[in-house]
Each structure stands twice: as C-alpha cells, then as structure tokens.
Amino acid sequence: MSPRCSLVVNGKPVRVATGDTPLDAALPRNVAAGRDGVIQDAQLPDALPRLRNTSRARPRLGDGAATRPGPAPSPLAVLRTVKRAGTLLSVTPLSGAVVEVVVTVSRDLDVAPGQAVEVAFAGVPARPYCPTQRIDGNTELNELVFHLRRDAGALGPALGGAVQPGHVVRIKGPAGGIPYRPGPGRLILVSAETGFAPIWAIARAARHREIAREMVVVAGAADADDLYMRPGLDWLRATGVQQITLAASRDRRGQADVRHGPVTAHLPTLRGSDTVHVAGPPDIVRAVERLCDSVGATCAALPFLPSRSRARSLVTPGDTGAQFGL
C-alpha cells in the first residue's frame, strides 16, 4: 500500500498517495474511476476543455481509493495561478493566414503542455490561449509562443498594426486546460487548424519524456494552404514518429502529402488503451470524443469556440470562428 498524506482543498481533506500531484488527487472521482467526466470550474467563464475517460482503468490514487462518483473540488482550484509581465518580441508569418507570436516574460511560467494562460495585450481584451513551441522548436525558457490567425477576433487584425514588437502583454496562468502526462498505450494527437499549437507542445514533450511510446499524429485544416505545421511534423519524423497524416478538405494544388477530407476521416482505428488529445473546432472535437467513447479510449478535448460567442472561448492558438468557418 502506498504511503498517504492529507491535502486540504477549500476546507475539505483530499487523500494523496506518494508520487501523486495535487491535480491527480483533486480529479473528480468519476474521472479518476474511469467514468465519463467533465472538468469544469465555476470561477472561469470560458468553455473549458473536457477530459473524457471512458477506459476501464483503475483509480490512480492507490489501494482503497473511493470508486463511486461523488463531489470533489475542481482540479483547477489547486493550481497556483501566477502573473507575469511580458513584451511582444516578434510576429512571424507561418502561412498566409497564420502567424507565430512570441512573448518574452519577466520570469518563466510553469505551464504544462495542454494548459492555457490568460493573455492581455494592451488595448485588447484578455483571452485564454495555450502556449506552444516555436514551429522550429527553438523556444527559450522566458518565451511564450502562440499560433494565431490574422483574421482572429480583435487581436489578429491588430498584429503588425496597433500591436507591434515591444507591445506590453500581461499573462496569468495556468488558466485551465488538460496537461499532458506520460502513460501506457498509444498517444493519439489530433488537431484541426491552429489547434496544432497545443498538440505540437504535447508532441515535443512526449518525444523527450517517453521516446518509446507509440505516437500517431493527424493534423488538418479546411484549406491546405493553412497547413503551416510541416516543419514540426518533419521534426517528429526525424525522432522516429512514423504515423503522421496531413488532411485538408480543399487542396487547390493537389499536394501529394495531403489527404482529402477532415481529420476525422483519417484517424487510426482506436483502441480502448489509447489516450487521445484533440484540439480544434467543436464539431471536430465532438466527433473524436464520440469515437473514443465507442471504444472506451481516454480523450482530452480542447474545443475552440468562435470569438463572437457570448461565452469567451478557450481558444488556444486561434482566436476566431472565421478560422474554422464558423
């Protein structure tokens, strides 16, 4: 039996086994026990990403952990949110529509791949985004990198105009999201549009932390001209990832490495032992979730909502409904 200690969250004791993080301990029992679950936090108005664990895996909290559903504190409540001052360093085109935005911060921010931060450029409303890596992977410790579309909400059109390098940025986080963790089974990474940003961060972390784990990557966009992620996919191939698929519904140039159709048409046959991370438009995310449900696979979902929605979206890399044709 693993040694345990006590963690008090919002006045309620939580049992923690040695080796567990506070987030592990605070996971709602219906998620930890392998039942469908949604991680939410009433403090955050954003549409938070969902973790659906339909596998039959046992709880991670050790022998004797409760397996029946019951009230539990939100895992976000135990995360230590910090603030950082930042400066816009660069805006680099990745395609005709997508840019790579790099912000330097006063001190590095401990945000795991798949987690979000709230970003406020001076004069632009704050929004949550998921930090990623530079597309070439050469990211410094004091940098936060984002993939944005030029037509994205209030920020996109301002980049290069009202928002120039040297612009003041405020960062607060973590602000939601589902962090990547090493584990058994295949790691299936699915992205549409600039949903590649959190997927790229997860993929690089996984290749460094568990090089022997089988990885499958499916990345797509409505238009093949927006498949900006090729340099990142080349890096993954160089590290031994063999199962990589690019997909687009429109490919005017007939590119040989691009398959026709949405990413959901090119997923591998899923297994109950798979862990799937999916980021992109809600319809893509819902379709992948349903496929995971049908076989009992674990699905960590990052749905992006249109910026014109009344509820601010957890729009990680891309800030707009236009990018997804919404």
Same-domain pairing of 164 and 205? no
Considering the domain boundaries, does residue 70 fall inside one? no
Whole-structure pTM value: 0.73
Tens of pLDDT, residue by residue over 185-206, are 999 999 999 999 999 999 999 9
Considering the domain boundaries, does residue 39 fall inside one? no
Considering the domain boundaries, does residue 11 fall inside one? no
Tens of pLDDT, residue by residue over 8-65, are 555 555 555 444 445 444 443 333 222 232 222 222 223 344 555 443 332 222 222 2
Pairing mode, if any, of strands 243-250 and 127-129? Answer: unpaired
Same-domain pairing of 192 and 283? yes
Same-domain pairing of 193 and 91? no
The CATH code of the domain that includes 206 is 3.40.50.80
Question: Who contacts 104 (Cβ-Cβ below 8 Å, separation ≥6)?
Answer: 86, 87, 89, 140, 142, 143
Same-domain pairing of 209 and 101? no
Sign of the dihedral defined by the CA atoms of residues 28, 32, 37, 39, in that order: positive
Considering the domain boundaries, does residue 166 fall inside one? yes
Question: Which of these three, 176, 195, 210, is where a domain ends?
Answer: 176
- What single-letter amino acid sits at 310? R
Same-domain pairing of 99 and 192? no
Query: What local confidence, expressed as pLDDT, does residue 258 receive?
Result: 95
Residue burial 125-136, b: 16+ Cβ < 10 Å; e: rest: eebbbbbbbbbe
- Measured CA distances, 73 to 44, 78, 91 (Å): 14, 8, 39
Please state, in angstroms and rounded to a whole number, the distance separating the CA atoms of residues 301 and 242: 24
Query: What local confidence, expressed as pLDDT, does residue 152 receive?
Result: 72
Range of the domain at 281: 187-303
Same-domain pairing of 200 and 150? no
Question: Which of these three, 157, 176, 195, is where a domain ends?
Answer: 176
Query: What local confidence, expressed as pLDDT, does residue 250 receive?
Result: 92
Q: Is 232 exposed, middle or buried (0-12, 13-18, 19+ CB in 10 A)?
A: buried
| Beta bridge pairs of residue 275 | 187, 298
Query: What local confidence, expressed as pLDDT, does residue 274 receive?
Result: 98
User: Is residue 111 a contact partner of residue 142, using CB atoms and an 8 Å limit?
Assistant: no
Same-domain pairing of 193 and 163? no
Residue 15's closest CA among 68, 72, 53, 54? Answer: 72
Q: What domain count does the chain have?
A: 2
Same-domain pairing of 168 and 191? no
Same-domain pairing of 197 and 136? no
Considering the domain boundaries, does residue 114 fall inside one? yes
The CATH code of the domain that includes 154 is 2.40.30.10
Same-domain pairing of 153 and 94? yes
Same-domain pairing of 202 and 117? no
- Spell out where the chain has E strands: 4-9, 12-17, 50-53, 82-93, 98-105, 117-121, 127-129, 143-149, 168-173, 187-192, 215-223, 243-250, 258-260, 275-280, 298-303
Query: What local confidence, expressed as pLDDT, does residue 54 receive?
Result: 42
Return the structure tokens found at 255: 């590119």
Considering the domain boundaries, does residue 120 fall inside one? yes
Considering the domain boundaries, does residue 58 fall inside one? no
Same-domain pairing of 253 and 276? yes
Query: What local confidence, expressed as pLDDT, does residue 51 receive?
Result: 52
Q: How confident is the model at residue 161 (pLDDT cuts 50, 70, 90)?
A: confident
Strand order across the beta sheet in which 168-173 lies = 127-129, 117-121, 168-173, 82-93, 98-105, 143-149
Question: Which of these three, 176, 205, 236, is where a domain ends?
Answer: 176
